[in-house]
Every structure is written in structure tokens, then in C-alpha cells.
């Protein structure tokens, strides 16, 4: 190896190869960007309500207990398909009512049960959050998760 | 220590160890909440504790990298750091930003993208600190001798700082948000940080084993080539189920399988250099941490990463305790242990003493490594059961979690061992002044008995 692969050759392979893979990666992510906007998430419009819901989701750091499309913390249930689980994916009003009812009942205070905090959320924000979760649920995630349990 | 300005590394390492203590304390508390879920549930909810646990980890690892750069760039470049004052200003900004972030988390002010929860002003602070850092080390680097170690280190540090820009990009479209979020998260820990790791490991091998620089540097280029060739398109293993196209299942599976290679190469490199070097360097603790880091990184990042990286497997294991098992062992092996190796090597030199604390230091290695290994096993078992019950059978999340209590109890126990190890490490670095066990005599070219 030492004759054929000198230090400067190894260095050139490293630089040249890295540039090649960066170019391929950038091209694929550009294509993926279009795929996400035009196809995977196009089933439901990205309204201001959905965007508001995303901000509510972020402001309360939901991701540090829950997963969303499998990413986040593993302390609380997956929420990428929660609206399907609740049978509310196609009914915005029902989605809002179940979500609101659930969140108003937290924390449960039951001994030995994981506790979800109580969040101060206005009705407008709660409706946004419900729409955001419906919007996330309609994303084409290549049929993940395997079942409604999330 | 050959150059006065290397001394700034000391301040970086001290702050890093302080945050390390906060990180493991937060981890222990979070582990306890899994066992006893009502603990602090209204005062300090789980999500806040987890933010402190992960953010403290990331910041202290970065501080360790910055400190390592300030230590080794002067020695490699054969000159003083461009500006010591800038290095301290950079540290001050990062300390204020970190305290500000922790303070805001405690009062409920934070963003909501995982690991990037820092308030905007803190993010800008980090950006400013990164720019100061790059200017400072780059000017030192450019003016002096250039080696493969500093080439690779500089490239890793520049790229990781540039990728920080994606921390500011948060599209309203959740899937786009996730895709660009990985530009920071994956391309840090599975690409650019690996360059930094390889460079620091190369430096330690150079110092500890005395092997010829040419040999070490050629190895380094091969290691980092395999890291980037696999790691860049390996990002695809995060693009399976977030709304990205289906072809990522193949791209991600194939390239992330090769992500095992750089970790295997780093482990082989470390052992081979120690074997070839035969140098009897007095700092055995630093050597143990260096070998341990590359070994545990191979298992944590390499083996446990491969365990769930193929898309057919990941379809079932994605977002379960399997991920948590892999995350803990890979961060510990690749980045925690490597930083502790660098601290173990540099601290005695920075304080102008012979390495004096090695037995306690090495005990802390085994305590922490044993604890992390046990934690990984318990979480892997928990994740296996969770995957089966939830993803195959279809039982609901909380029903499944209720079945995993024993594993979470054992995980907490292993966390206690890790915290004790961390405390012992910091104690051996900062407090103990004498060696606790007298080393035996060094016999050059010793003959075996009866030979």
C-alpha cells in the first residue's frame, strides 16, 4: 500500500472525492426539496393556521418528549399520525375538540404515570396546532409508521 | 507546553468539564423520571431537563474541540496563537450564551427544533464566537507550518461552523424543516466532527506513540476520506420517513453501511500506532482514553449505528429506544471519550506537572465506560421489546412503556455509575495532587522470565 498510495495521493483522493459527494448530495437534496413541496406534502395547503400551529409546537418544545415522524424524544407517543389514531384526520373540528380536551386535562397527576405539562394556549393557537398535526399526518412518509400505534 | 498561548486551552477545558457535570446530572435526573414519572413534573418538566442534557453536551464537546484546537494548532504551526485576547473573548461569549440558554430554558423560553432550541440571540452569539474562532485559528494556521493534522482539523472546524447557518433556517413546511435540520445535526456528528475527531486522535497518537508523522498523516487522510465518502450521502438514513423521496432508502442504506468503515479504521489506526510506536509515554491515562474512545466509537457509532440503519430494519425501529441506545454509546465513544483523552493528555502539561492522577483517571474510564455499555444494553433490550410490541403487534405506546420499567430502572443504575465516573474524572483532573499508586520501574527491552 505504501508505494502506491502516498500521502499526497491519499490527500488528493480525499479532497476530490469529498467534492464529488458534496455535489451529488446537493443535487439530490435540491430534487428532494421539490419532491417535498410538490408531492409529499401537497395533499393539504400550508395555511397560516398550519404555520401558526408549527410555531406553537416549537414554542412549547413538544419535540423534547414526543416524536414527530419518528424524530424527537422517546418519552411520549409519536404524533405524526396522532390524528389518524384519533380518527380525526379528515375532520378539522373533531381534531380541535379532541386535542383541546386532551391538553386541558393535563397534567393528569396520576401517580406512576408520565406527566404532560399544562400549557397556556389560546383557542386560535389550539386550532392551529390541530391543523398542524393534521397537516403532518397527511405527509407522504413512505407508509411509516407501520401501524396506527405510531 | 511549548507555547505560552496554548494556556487558553486550560480555560476552555475547565468550562467544558463544568458543563459535563451539568450534562450528566441532567441525564441522571431524566433517567430517574423514567423510573418515577411524577418527579418534578410541574416544576421542571421532562422536556426542559432533556434540553439541558443535550445542549450542555453539545456545547461542552464544542468547547473541548475549541480548546483542543487552541492547544494543538500552536504546536503544529510552531507559533503562538494569533490573539490570546480574542480566544478569551470567544470563550466569554460562549459562557454567557450557555448560561443565557440554560436560564431561558428554566423559565420556559426556547425554540422547538430539537438540539437547536437556543433563543435567537444565543444562536447569534454562537455565530459570532465561531467567526472569532475561525479568524483566530486560521491566521495562526496560515502563518505557520501546515500539517495534515491541522489541515484536517481546520477543514472540519470551518465546515462545522458554516453548517451552523442552517440552524437559522426553519421553513414552515415541516418536512423541509426536518431535511435542513439534518444539515446541522447529521453533517456535524457523522461528517465534520469526525474530521475533528480524527485530527485530535492523530495528534494524540503522534505525541503518545512517537510513530513517524508521515505514517500517521497518510492514515488520517484515508480515515477522513472514508468518513466523508460514506457520511455525506449517509445523511440519507435520516431521509427515509420524513416526506423525502423513496430513493433515499437505498442511498441511505448503502452509504450509511459504509459509515462503519471510518470508525473501524480509527480503531485499527489507534491500536496499530500504539503497537508500532513502542514508546513508553508516561501518560497512560491519555493512552487508555484514546484507545477506549476509538474502540467505543466503533461499537457505538459503527456497530450500533449499523444495527438499525438499513431501511427495512429502520422501518420498525425508527424512533424507539434503539435510537436512544445508539445515540448514547456513539456520543460517549466518539466525542466524550475523545475529549476526555485530550483533557487527560493536555491538562498536566497546561498545569506544568507530570501526569499525577492516572490511576483515579483510569478508574473513571472503566466506571464511565462500563456504565455506558450497560446503559446501551438495557436500552437495546427495551427497544427490541418496544419494536416488537408497538411496531409489529401494534400495542399502544404507553401500554408498551409500562412493560419496560425494569429496563429503565437498570438504565438509571448505569447512569449512577456514569455520574460517579464523571465526578471521579473531574476530581482526578482538578483536585488530586499526587499519584495514588506508585508505578513500577520501567525496564528497557525487558526480557521475559525464563528467557
From B434, B305, B411, B428, select the one nearest B360 (Cα to Cα): B428
Least confident of B132-136, B150-154, B433-437, B445-449: B445-449
In a domain, B302, yes or no: yes
- Chain A CB contacts of B319 under 8 Å are 67, 70-72, 74, 78
Strand ranges in B397-451 using DSSP code E only, listed in sequence order: none
A32 in contact with B, Cβ within 8 Å: yes
What average pLDDT does this structure show over B175-188?
A: 97
Least confident of B20-34, B84-98, B385-399, B431-445: B431-445
Query: Would you call B318 and A139 a contact, using CB atoms and an 8 Å cutoff?
Result: no
Q: Is the pLDDT of residue B447 over 60?
A: no
Task: Tell me the CATH number at B258.
Answer: 1.20.210.10
DSSP B195-215: HHHHHHHHHHHHHHH---HHH
Least confident of B103-112, B337-346, B416-425: B103-112
| pLDDT for residue B451 | 45
Q: Are residues B129 and B211 in the same domain?
A: no
DSSP B345-380: HHHHHHTTS----HHHHHHHHHHHHHHHHHHHHHHH
pLDDT band at B444 (very low <50, low <70, confident <90, very high): low
Q: Are residues B131 and B255 in the same domain?
A: no
Instruction: Summarize pLDDT for B131-180 with one digit per residue, the tens.
Output: 999 999 999 999 999 999 999 999 999 999 999 999 999 999 999 999 99
Instruction: Summarize pLDDT for B191-235 with one digit per residue, the tens.
Output: 999 999 999 999 999 999 999 999 999 999 999 999 999 999 999
What average pLDDT does this structure show over B58-80?
A: 97
Are B4 and A70 a contacting pair, CB within 8 Å?
A: no
Query: Would you call B394 and A31 a contact, using CB atoms and an 8 Å cutoff?
Result: no
pTM to 2 decimal places: 0.96
Q: How far is A123 from chain B (nearest CA, A)?
A: 20
Q: Is the pLDDT of residue B440 over 80?
A: no
Extract the C-alpha cell encoding A98. 379532541
Query: Would you call A21 and B229 a contact, using CB atoms and an 8 Å cutoff?
Result: yes
| A and B: number of Cβ contacts within 8 A | 208
d(CA A74, CA B390): 13
Q: Are residues B355 and B277 in the same domain?
A: yes
Extract the C-alpha cell encoding A92. 378539522
Instruction: Summarize pLDDT for A103-127 with one digit per residue, the tens.
Output: 999 999 999 999 999 999 999 999 9
In a domain, B442, yes or no: no
| pLDDT for residue B443 | 66
Last residue of a domain, one of B146, B167, B186: B146
Query: Would you call B112 and A58 a contact, using CB atoms and an 8 Å cutoff?
Result: yes
**CA–CA distances in Å: residue B428 to residues B341, B357, B359:** 13, 6, 9
Q: Are residues B94 and B238 in the same domain?
A: no
Q: Is the pLDDT of residue B357 over 90?
A: no
Q: Give the closest of B45, B114, B395 to A149, CB-based.
A: B395
Instruction: Summarize pLDDT for A72-115 with one digit per residue, the tens.
Output: 999 999 999 999 999 999 999 999 999 999 999 999 999 999 99
Q: Give the closest of A17, A46, A141 to B243, CB-based.
A: A141
From B328, B320, B323, B324, select the one nearest B300 (Cα to Cα): B328
| pLDDT for residue B446 | 55
- Chain B CB contacts of A57 under 8 Å are 112
CB-based contacts of A8, cutoff 8 Å, min separation 6: none
Q: Please tell me whether the peptide bond between B355 and the residue prior to it is cis, using omega within 30 degrees of 0.
A: no
Query: Would you call B175 and A77 a contact, using CB atoms and an 8 Å cutoff?
Result: no
Q: Are residues B133 and B223 in the same domain?
A: no
In a domain, B193, yes or no: no
What average pLDDT does this structure show over B81-98?
A: 97
Q: Give the closest of B45, B243, B397 to A78, CB-based.
A: B397
List, in sequence order, the alpha helices (H) in A78-147.
82-85, 92-104, 123-137
Nearest chain A residue (CA) to B110: A59
Q: How far is A57 from chain B (nearest CA, A)?
A: 7
Residue A110: what are its φ and ψ, rounded to 5°? -70, 130
Task: Tell me the CATH number at B115.
Answer: 1.20.120
Taking every pair of C-alpha atoms in chain A, what is the biggest distance, in angstroms? 72
Q: Are residues B208 and B142 in the same domain?
A: no
The three state secondary structure string of A36-72 is HHHHHCCCCCCCHHHHHHHHHHHHCCHHHCCEECCEE
What average pLDDT does this structure show over B4-28?
A: 97
Query: Would you call B394 and A115 a contact, using CB atoms and an 8 Å cutoff?
Result: no
A11 in contact with B, Cβ within 8 Å: yes
What average pLDDT does this structure show over B342-352?
A: 94
Cell numbers 393535563 correspond to what residue?
A106
| pLDDT for residue A111 | 92
In a domain, B168, yes or no: no
Q: Give the closest of A5, A33, A144 to B315, CB-based.
A: A144
CA angle A141, A143, A149 (to 5 degrees): 105
- Chain B CB contacts of A69 under 8 Å are 174, 178, 241-243
Query: Would you call B239 and A115 a contact, using CB atoms and an 8 Å cutoff?
Result: no
What average pLDDT does this structure show over B309-313?
A: 98
Instruction: Summarize pLDDT for B117-128 with one digit per residue, the tens.
Output: 999 999 999 999
pLDDT band at A1 (very low <50, low <70, confident <90, very high): low
pLDDT band at B327 (very low <50, low <70, confident <90, very high): very high
Nearest chain B residue (CA) to A145: B315
A23 in contact with B, Cβ within 8 Å: no
What average pLDDT does this structure show over B269-286?
A: 92
d(CA B281, CA A105): 63
- Please provide the average confidence, as pLDDT, over all residues in chain B: 95
Q: Are residues B215 and B135 in the same domain?
A: no
In a 3-state reduction of DSSP, which class is residue A78? strand
- Host domain of residue B25: 1-146
d(CA A49, CA B250): 35
Instruction: Summarize pLDDT for A2-22 with one digit per residue, the tens.
Output: 678 889 999 999 999 999 999
Q: Is the pLDDT of residue B449 over 60?
A: no
- Chain A CB contacts of B323 under 8 Å are 74
User: What is the Rg, in whole angstroms, of the alpha carbon atoms belonging to chain A?
Assistant: 22
Query: Would you call B225 and A62 a contact, using CB atoms and an 8 Å cutoff?
Result: no
| pLDDT for residue B104 | 96
Residue B97: CB atoms within 10 Å: 21
In a domain, B165, yes or no: no
In a domain, B446, yes or no: no
Helix (H) or strand (E) holding B21: helix B8-35
Query: Would you call A13 and B225 a contact, using CB atoms and an 8 Å cutoff?
Result: yes
Q: Are residues B319 and B235 in the same domain?
A: yes
Are B337 and B297 a contacting pair, CB within 8 Å?
A: yes
CB-based contacts of B111, cutoff 8 Å, min separation 6: A58, A59, A61, B117, B118, B119, B120
Are B265 and B222 a contacting pair, CB within 8 Å?
A: yes
Q: Are residues B429 and B360 in the same domain?
A: yes
| pLDDT for residue B79 | 96
Q: Give the closest of A7, A28, A36 to B243, CB-based.
A: A36
| pLDDT for residue A2 | 62
**Which chain A residues in 72-131 lie under 8 Å from chain B, judged by CB atoms?**
72-78, 107, 109, 111-115, 117
Instruction: Summarize pLDDT for A13-56 with one digit per residue, the tens.
Output: 999 999 999 999 999 999 999 999 999 999 999 999 999 999 99
In a domain, B441, yes or no: no
Nearest chain A residue (CA) to B149: A11
Q: Are residues B237 and B118 in the same domain?
A: no
Q: Are residues B238 and B313 in the same domain?
A: yes
In a domain, B181, yes or no: no
Domain count, chain B: 2
Q: Are residues B104 and B231 in the same domain?
A: no
Are A116 and A107 a contacting pair, CB within 8 Å?
A: yes
Query: Would you call B112 and A61 a contact, using CB atoms and an 8 Å cutoff?
Result: yes
Amino acid at each position: 500500500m505504501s508505494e502506491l498510495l502516498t500521502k499526497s495521493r491519499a490527500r488528493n483522493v480525499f479532497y476530490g472525492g469529498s467534492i464529488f459527494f458534496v455535489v451529488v448530495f446537493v443535487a439530490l437534496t435540491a430534487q428532494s426539496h421539490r419532491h417535498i413541496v410538490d408531492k409529499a406534502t401537497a395533499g393539504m395547503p400550508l395555511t397560516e393556521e398550519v404555520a401558526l400551529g408549527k410555531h406553537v409546537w416549537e414554542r412549547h418544545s413538544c419535540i423534547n418528549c414526543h416524536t414527530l415522524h419518528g424524530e424527537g424524544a422517546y418519552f411520549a407517543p409519536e404524533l405524526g399520525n396522532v390524528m389518524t389514531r384519533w380518527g380525526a384526520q379528515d375532520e378539522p373540528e373533531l381534531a380541535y375538540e379532541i386535542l383541546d380536551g386532551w391538553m386541558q386535562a393535563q397534567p393528569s397527576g396520576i401517580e406512576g404515570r408520565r406527566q404532560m405539562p399544562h400549557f397556556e394556549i389560546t383557542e386560535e393557537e389550539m386550532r392551529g396546532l390541530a391543523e398542524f398535526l393534521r397537516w403532518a399526518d397527511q405527509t407522504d412518509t413512505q407508509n411509516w409508521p407501520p401501524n396506527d400505534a405510531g | 507546553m511549548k507555547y505560552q498561548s496554548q494556556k487558553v486551552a486550560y480555560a476552555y477545558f475547565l468550562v467544558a468539564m463544568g458543563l459535563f457535570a451539568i450534562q450528566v446530572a441532567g441525564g441522571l435526573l431524566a433517567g430517574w423520571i423514567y423510573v418515577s414519572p411524577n418527579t418534578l413534573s410541574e416544576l421542571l418538566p421532562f422536556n426542559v431537563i432533556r434540553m439541558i442534557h443535550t445542549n450542555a453536551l453539545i456545547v461542552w464537546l464544542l468547547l473541548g474541540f475549541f480548546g483542543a484546537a487552541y492547544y494543538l494548532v500552536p504546536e503544529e504551526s510552531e507559533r503562538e496563537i494569533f490573539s490570546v485576547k480574542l480566544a478569551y473573548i470567544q470563550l466569554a461569549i460562549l459562557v454567557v450564551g450557555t448560561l443565557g440558554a440554560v436560564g431561558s430554558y428554566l423559565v420556559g423560553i426556547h425554540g422547538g427544533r430539537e438540539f437547536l432550541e437556543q433563543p435567537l440571540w444565543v444562536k447569534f452569539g454562537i455565530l459570532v464566537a465561531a467567526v472569532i474562532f475561525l479568524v483566530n485559528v486560521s491566521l495562526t494556521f496560515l502563518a505557520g507550518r501546515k500539517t495534515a493534522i491541522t489541515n484536517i482539523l481546520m477543514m472540519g472546524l470551518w465546515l462545522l461552523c458554516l453548517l451552523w447557518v442552517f440552524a437559522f433556517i426553519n421553513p414552515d413546511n415541516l418536512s423541509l424543516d426536518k431535511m435542513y435540520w439534518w444539515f446541522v445535526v447529521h453533517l456535524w456528528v457523522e461528517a465534520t466532527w469526525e474530521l475533528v475527531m480524527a485530527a485530535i486522535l492523530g495528534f494524540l497518537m503522534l505525541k503518545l506513540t512517537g510513530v513517524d508523522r508521515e505514517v500517521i498523516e497518510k492514515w488520517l487522510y484515508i480515515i477522513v476520506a472514508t468518513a466523508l465518502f460514506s457520511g455525506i450521502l449517509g445523511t440519507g438514513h435520516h431521509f427515509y420517513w420524513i416526506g423525502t423521496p423513496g430513493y433515499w432508502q437505498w442511498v441511505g442504506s448503502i452509504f450509511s453501511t459504509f459509515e462503519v468503515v471510518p470508525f473501524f479504521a480509527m480503531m485499527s489506526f489507534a491500536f496499530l500506532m500504539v503497537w508500532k510506536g513502542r514508546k513508553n509515554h508516561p501518560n497512560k491515562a491519555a493512552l487508555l482514553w484514546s484507545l477506549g474512545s476509538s474502540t467505543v466509537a466503533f461499537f457505538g457509532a459503527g456497530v450500533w449505528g449499523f444495527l438499525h440503519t438499513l431501511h427495512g430494519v429502520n422501518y420498525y425501529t425508527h424512533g424507539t429506544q434503539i435510537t436512544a441506545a445508539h445515540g448514547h454509546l456513539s456520543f460517549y465513544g466518539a466525542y466524550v471519550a475523545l475529549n476526555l483523552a485530550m483533557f487527560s493528555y493536555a491538562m498536566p502539561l497546561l498545569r506544568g506537572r507530570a501526569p499525577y492522577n492516572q490511576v483515579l483517571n483510569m478508574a473513571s474510564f472503566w466506571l464511565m465506560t462500563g456504565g455506558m455499555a450497560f446503559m446501551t444494553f438495557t436500552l437495546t433490550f427495551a427497544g427490541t421489546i418496544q419494536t416488537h410490541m408497538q411496531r409489529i403487534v401494534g400495542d399502544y405506546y404507553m401500554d408498551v412503556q409500562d412493560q419496560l420499567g425494569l429496563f429503565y430502572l437498570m438504565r438509571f443504575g448505569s447512569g449512577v455509575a456514569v455520574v460517579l465516573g464523571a465526578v471521579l474524572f473531574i476530581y482526578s483532573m482538578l483536585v488530586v495532587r499526587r499519584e495514588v499508586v506508585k508505578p513500577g520501574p520501567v525496564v528497557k527491552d525487558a526480557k521475559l522470565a525464563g528467557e
